[in-house]
Structure 1
Amino acid sequence: MNPLLSTLQPYPFERLKGLTQGITLNPAYRPISLGIGEPKHPTPQFIKQALVDALDGLASYPATAGEPALRTACANWVQRRYGLTLDANTQILPVNGSREALFALAQVVIDPTQHREAGGPTVVSPNPFYQIYEGAALLSGATVVYANSDPARNFAADWSRIPDSTWATTQLLFVCSPGNPTGAVMPLDEWRKLFALSDRHGFVIASDECYSEIYFRDEPPLGGMEAAARLGREGFPRLVSFTSLSKRSNVPGLRSGFVAGDAALLKA
């Protein structure tokens, strides 16, 4: 067995299920679940019909990089949503859910043989956080350092509290904007600071944008690649953005999404 498995925390949703098991609910109230973030609306009919229409394709193995038509559709959505033109062949990669892709990226970019004099490589994560950030970091052999949320800033992660000595050993930074569970959105100036740190220390930024389409203002939240483009960062160096259909399209059971950004990282 992998000895690093012993470093993992209990899966929070299973733990929550155990804590609430056997509780009798007050029938006068409708319960609000604070467990797994599952959509409460049905899957759109056109999505279900598209799955039915594609059943004949089950007899063939799909390409690892996804069908060209799918990659093109992803690139077209990025163009409509963020005004960015991506190369569908090199800057887009369909994935079986953003959770799985977030885990895989850590295994690709973390080198546990580096920074041994400082105790090994570091992964920086917002806190609170999506559990896969911590699990992916620990199983890659890294140490996790948490940027706690700041109540004075709408509970956004306070990156300024991370010392430069930690950034110096950081190989991967997880960013979630809009944040889970706070909803806090990172402004352009904050992206600028994180990009500067990435340039200085060479770490990769994983921008989890699972909640990019859930917002209450007229203007949609700023995305990581969008921020990079505004700051003139051509090619999105050391940046990978993660998009999921689970929340925006009410299909968490489909396990479908895509990653986009730095072509060299996606090729790896």
Structure 2
Amino acid sequence: MFPERFSNLPAYAFPRLRALLDVHEPGGVVRHMSIGEPKHAFPQWITDTLVQHAHEFGQYPVNEGNPELRGAIRDWLYRRYGVQVDPDTQVMALSGSREGLYNAGMALIPEVKNGARPVVLMPNPFYPVYMISSISVGAEPRFVPATSETGHLPDFASVGAEVLNRTAAVYICSPANPQGAMADTAYWRELIALAEQYDFQILADECYAEIYRDTPPVGVLEVARDMGADPERVVAFHSLSKRSNLPGLRSGFVAGGPETIARIKQLRSYAGAPLPMPIQRVSAKLWAEETHVTANRALYVEKYELADRLLGHIDGYLSPQAGMFLWLPVEDGEAATLKLWTQTGVRALPGAYLSKDTPQGNPGHGYVRVAMVADYEETKAGLTLIRDSLYAQQ
């Protein structure tokens, strides 16, 4: 009675983690470093704005985001990337970037590409929503390794012409979750050229774009503009969850060509969940304000430097350039995660839970992902325990 395409899905990462760890007692004070849930404080004026507009919970929200919010998004895109967009036709507010990343598949992926079942390419490791969106529309998800050999970004051209001719869309995350690798201008140019050659869309998950060490990550929209690419070729997704430490606000946006946004808006009008109006009011102010973002970024930079001091001696250590995670090399990620839990109480995530098994193996098997979302002292305590438990011999 249920669709067969969902019958063989692996369990989601965090139920798997609970099944692995929760049958064992923690070996110390529990320290949550498994999930990317920002813990830095957000500004008080957010609460004040919500209270000021609380009466607007009594009305249906504007589907695509009210003019104030879309204008703030337009202005932010210009300040951040130098890109000019029409707020009426090229942006739409989202209930978090996850909603948009999933619904992009529903709205944009065709039933057939060049007479065959469409393919959707994505990195491996990957955010599971990419896979589920593809499966939901009957497309074939293809997992392209994002390993140290490829600079922790996928080489989509490596899949070959036969697959590329069937490719309808590519999901790509930059800065990458979990590795923190950033696509530079050359990478984006090559991918956009490939998309132009084989006629597919790039769905760029840029939700970590405001957390970086020194150099801001290049955005897909600015490179596409400089190349003179078809404006429908690239679609960018952003979120306030990481940028502004508000994962519970569930607020983000999508930007792309007018036809793309029109299709996503149409789906939203039937099946989506528009942002409540008080949330839209807060979101507009957040996109217009940079002081809290700069302060937030500085806190992450301190923790990047801390991680380098504590763990930089480890063979294969990847010094984070962006994002909020460490991608730490181990012999077996699941065994290392269990050891951490039972010896120290630190709760990390096996890399294999973010990756797909392939004939060549699981590219996350030899890693654990560690979220550096707590304050400095809590992060220091957790990283010290990780060092002493997993890397005492290095």
Could you say which residue in structure 2 is the equivalent of 1:79? 78
Could you say which residue in structure 2 is the equivalent of 1:100? 99
TM-score (norm 2): 0.63
Which structure 2 residues correspond to residues 23-102 of structure 1 after superposition, within 5 A? 23-27=24-28, 31=31, 33-34=33-34, 36-102=35-101
Change (3 A) 1:230 1:114: closer
Contact 1:236 / 1:261 at 8 angstroms: preserved in 2?
Answer: yes
| RMSD between superposed Cα atoms in Å | 1.7
Q: What amino acid maps onto 1:123 in structure 2?
A: V
Could you say which residue in structure 2 is the equivalent of 1:149? 146
Query: For 2:26, what is the secondary structure of its paired residue?
Result: coil
| Residue 108 of structure 1: how far off its partner (Å) | 1.3
Contact 2:114 / 2:165 at 8 angstroms: preserved in 1?
Answer: no
Q: What is the CA–CA distance in structure 1 between the aligned matches of 2:97 and 2:121, rounded to whole Å?
A: 18
Q: What amino acid maps onto 2:166 in structure 1?
A: T
| Residue 52 of structure 1: how far off its partner (Å) | 1.5
Q: What is the CA–CA distance in structure 2 between the aligned matches of 1:82 and 1:38, rounded to whole Å?
A: 26
Query: For 1:167, what is the secondary structure of its paired residue?
Result: helix
Q: What is the CA–CA distance in structure 1 between the aligned matches of 2:113 and 2:195, rounded to whole Å?
A: 17
Could you say which residue in structure 1 is the equivalent of 2:168? 171
| Runs of 4 or more consecutive aligned structure 1 residues displaced over 6 Å after TM superposition | none
Q: What is the CA–CA distance in structure 2 between the aligned matches of 1:153 and 1:195, rounded to whole Å?
A: 18
Higher helix share: 2
Q: Deviations over 1:148-190 (max 9, x none)?
A: 0131344222223221211100001001100000111111111
Q: What is the CA–CA distance in structure 2 between the aligned matches of 1:82 and 1:116, rounded to whole Å?
A: 37
Q: What is the aligned-residue identity percentage?
A: 37
Q: Deviations over 1:89-126 (max 9, x none)?
A: 11110011110111101011222344555xx1100001
Comparing 10-19 and 248-257, the one that deviates more: 10-19
Query: For 1:157, what is the secondary structure of its paired residue?
Result: coil
Q: What is the CA–CA distance in structure 1 between the aligned matches of 2:11 and 2:137, rounded to whole Å?
A: 18
Contact 1:7 / 1:138 at 8 angstroms: preserved in 2?
Answer: no
Residue 240 in structure 1 maps to residue 239 in structure 2: no
Residue 227 in structure 1 maps to residue 219 in structure 2: no
Comparing 184-193 and 120-129, the one that deviates more: 184-193
Could you say which residue in structure 1 is the equivalent of 2:121? 124
Q: What is the CA–CA distance in structure 2 between the aligned matches of 1:250 and 1:131, rounded to whole Å?
A: 22
Change (3 A) 1:32 1:160: farther
Q: What is the CA–CA distance in structure 2 between the aligned matches of 1:245 and 1:100, rounded to whole Å?
A: 13
Q: What is the CA–CA distance in structure 1 between the aligned matches of 2:206 and 2:252, rounded to whole Å?
A: 11
Could you say which residue in structure 2 is the equivalent of 1:13? 14
TM-score (norm 1): 0.92
Aligned length: 262
Q: What amino acid maps onto 2:257 in structure 1?
A: D
Comparing 83-92 and 204-213, the one that deviates more: 83-92
Q: Which runs of 5+ in 2 are unaligned?
A: 264-394
Higher relative contact order (CA 8 A, sep 6+): 2
Q: Which runs of 5+ in 1 are unaligned?
A: none
Could you say which residue in structure 2 is the equivalent of 1:190? 187
Could you say which residue in structure 1 is the equivalent of 2:207? 210
Q: What is the CA–CA distance in structure 2 between the aligned matches of 1:54 and 1:3, rounded to whole Å?
A: 45
Query: For 1:94, what is the secondary structure of its paired residue?
Result: strand
